[in-house]
Amino acid sequence: MLQVNDVHAGYGNLKILRGVDMSISDGGIVTLLGGNGTGKSTLLKAISGLIPLMKGQITFDGLDISKLKPHERVRLGIVQVTQAKEAYPAMSVEENLVLGAYTRKDREAIKVDLERVYDFFPVLRERRKQMSGTLSGGEVQMLVIGRGMMAKPKMLMLDEPSAALAPKVVLEIFANINRIAKSGVTILIVEQNVRMALILAQYGYIIRDGIILIEGNADMLIKDPAVKESFLGGSVADVSRGLNKK
Amino acid sequence: MAFDLNSLLAFIIFGVTIGVVYGIVALGISLIYSGLDIVHFAHGEMYMFGAFFGLVLAENVGLPYPVALVGAMIITAVVGMLVERVFYRRLTRAGGGYTVAGMGMIICGFGMSVAMVNVAYFIWGAEAEPFRANLDYIPRLQFPGDIEVPESYVLTAIISVILMFTLHYFLRYTKPGLAVRAVAHNKDIAYLMGINVPLMISLIFGVACALAAAAGVLIGPMQSVQVEMGYLMLMKAFAAAVVGGFGSLPGAIIGGIMVGVFENLGAAYISASHKDIYAFLLLILVLMIKPSGLFGVEAKVKA
């Protein structure tokens, strides 16, 4: 579905990505892991088109999208959910969600999808008339994910959906990400919460200093001593149980 | 001048009417500020161009006044979008806002202002042109105490209210309006919603210039149309926008009305020869009491 070939990108003269290769196939959840400042968000921005490529190529469903503007990529089905703080605070919850469906013309289907988002995140239905600036951190995170769903994505990219949230809220959000994936949307999730991300995902990439360090199946990565050493601590069993309960 | 309640009422009515026009120009300045993060210093010239376009359409082409008004708005919007597309876009793309990088934008605005004034001199000459609009079908308003409000003021009030409500409806209840608000708040996220951000910025610029043109055509019959008219209007509208709180749209209108009333009262009761000072007196007073302006919202809730 998505092919990233030797991508170099950054900001101004500062090069952050130094030759990233990535291949994401249809369906399932893929996670991109790495510490702060390793280029995770930069890669997402390069894929969604917010920053131009310095070198390399990105193709989506066989189509070269390297030169497309961000809004054109959204029309193709590549939707990036930004970090939680970036809802539109002066718009109501429902306005935010409707804005997510901006590229779509199928009014009836948009209504159905709106209901679906409310079913996924019932708290949003309760707060639909509220300005999104009044929501809690977890609620805003649900809102931006719901807004991403409204675009009817083929591939949904999530930028640290667990950041600064309570463990219980994270579990709820991850369970819903799983539901979205089961409905046939390919998901690329960037995380710092490595353990949870590897339990959720089927495949993982680990990025460091702008290049992909390791890649592989999630259950393999979680046992990998190098990964364990640099990222993981403690047991994975409790998280796993929490996810399965949902 | 002797003080009596009737003339006070009259000054306030005229002040509000002229103030709403300041407000409309301020609305455009605020819109551009929200959408492009720049202060558009050539906006007074858009107002002046709009007035001339209206004059040409009404007098030379012979269109009825309301049609000339709409025509002037459309032409000015196109001119504005062209200016944005050709000159401002490459500068805003560099970003910067009010940092040193944003200075280029401010200087470009000033340059555009000077250039447009000179183009106007070249086309229309230095003389003030009277704008004789046929407004016989508009009723004069009679207020108690022998106050008579002339047609042009009545029309200005009506059209201003229509424009404000149209803009409000557009921003609040239409899809492009939603997109404009999204772009005003954050361009990157707007992009990720699938919004064509450069197109929306052009749209914002066009709407703002159309508003300025409307103000120009409305002011035309009250005063006269001349090349240097834009400078003072920019200053007043700027004062109105700041008084109301920069970036706030309701604030722009309220600020405009306050500036209009304040300067009319000042002219009536203090000194008419210093009429243009009062707007800035008000500006300084408001900034001393509330530096963010009356409706300036700290949390950057824009549009």
Task: Give the model's pLDDT for residue A245.
Answer: 47
What pLDDT sits at residue B212? 97
Asked if residues A120 and A149 have their Cβ atoms less than 8 Å apart, the reply is yes
In a domain, A212, yes or no: yes
Does the residue A115 lie in any domain?
A: no
Which two three-digit tokens encode residue A146? 């719901």
In a domain, B185, yes or no: yes
CATH number for A197: 3.40.50.300
In a domain, B160, yes or no: yes
Q: Which residue has the higher pLDDT, B113 or A89?
A: B113
Residue A174 in any domain: the answer is no
Identify the top-confidence range among A219-223, B100-104, B136-140, B279-283.
B279-283
Q: Residue A86: which of B189, B299, B301 has the nearest Cβ?
A: B189
Residue where the block lists tokens 């894929």: A47
Domain around B114? 5-124+138-289
For residue B93, the model assigns a pLDDT of 64
Is the pLDDT at B103 greater than 80, yes or no? no
Whats the size of chain A, residue-wise? 246
The answer to whether position B299 is within a domain reads no
Residues in chain B: 303
| Tokens found for residue A228 | 């364990």
In the three-class reduction of DSSP (H, G, I as helix; E, B as strand; rest coil), residue B222 is classed as: coil
Distances (CA, A) of B174 to A143, A180, B8: 21, 29, 41
- Is residue B129 in a domain? no
User: How confident is residue B1, by pLDDT bands cut at 50, 70 and 90?
Assistant: low
Query: Best mutation site among B186, B192, B249 for testing chain A: the one with the most A CBs within 10 Å?
Result: B192
pLDDT at B2: 57
Contact A86 B186 (CB under 8 A): yes
pLDDT digits (tens, 9 = 90+) for B64-93: 999 999 999 999 999 999 999 988 887 766
- Is the residue at A151 inside a domain? no
* pLDDT exceeds 80 at position B227: yes
Whether B95 shows a pLDDT value over 70: the answer reads: no
A196 belongs to a structural domain: yes
The per-residue pLDDT for A233 is 47
The per-residue pLDDT string of chain A (246 residues; one tens digit each, 9 = 90 and over) reads: 899 999 999 888 889 999 999 999 988 899 999 877 788 889 999 999 999 999 999 999 999 999 999 999 999 999 999 875 677 888 899 999 999 999 999 989 999 999 999 999 999 999 999 998 888 888 999 999 999 999 999 999 999 888 888 888 999 999 999 999 999 999 999 988 888 888 899 999 988 888 898 898 988 888 887 777 666 544 444 455 555 544
Helix, strand, or coil (residue A216)? strand
- The answer to whether B232 touches B221, Cβ cutoff 8 Å, is no
For A201, the domain range is: 1-68+188-246
Average pLDDT rounded to a whole number, residues B165-184? 91
Selection from B281, B256, B253, B286 nearest residue B267 by Cα: B281
Asked if residue B115 is part of any domain, the answer here is: yes
Q: Which of A71, A86, A147 sits opposite B195 (nearest CB)?
A: A71
Distance in Å, alpha carbon of B176 to nearest chain A alpha carbon: 9
Q: Between vectors from CA B6 to CA B4 and to CA B11, what angle results, nearest 5°?
A: 100
pLDDT per position as a tens digit, A196-209: 888 899 999 988 88
Task: Say if A183 falls within a structural domain.
Answer: no
Which pLDDT belongs to residue A150? 94
Per the CB < 8 A criterion, the answer to whether B38 and B106 are in contact is yes
B23 touches B75 (CB < 8 A): no
Is residue B131, in this structure, part of any structural domain at all?
A: no
Residues A6-61 pLDDT 10s: 999 988 888 999 999 999 998 889 999 987 778 888 999 999 999 999 999 999 99
pLDDT of residue B196: 92
User: How many Å separate Cα A205 from the centre of its chain?
Assistant: 14
CATH of residue B93's domain is 1.10.3470
Please identify among residues 85-144 of chain A the ones whose CB lies closer than 8 Å to any CB of chain B.
Answer: 86, 88-91, 95, 98-100, 102-103, 133
Judged by a CB distance cut-off of 8 A, whether residue B174 touches chain A is: no
H or E element, residue B47: helix B43-55
**Residue A165 domain flag:** no
Tell me the C-alpha distance between B80 and B93, whole Å: 17
Q: For residue B182, which residues of chain A lie inside 8 Å, CB to CB? A: 88, 91, 99
**pLDDT score at B299:** 41
**Helices and strands in chain A: count of H runs, count of E runs:** 11, 10
The structural domain count of chain A equals 1
Query: Rg of chain B over CA atoms, in angstroms?
Result: 19
Residue (of A11, A22, A65, A64) closest to A211 by Cα position: A22
Would residue A88 count as lying in a domain?
Answer: no
Structural domains in chain B (count): 1
pLDDT for position A238: 47
| pLDDT of amino acid B5 | 80
**What value of ipTM does the predicted structure carry?**
0.84
Residue A190, classed as helix, strand or coil, is: strand
- How many percent of chain B have pLDDT more than 90? 50
Contact status, residue A59 vs residue B269, Cβ threshold 8 Å? no
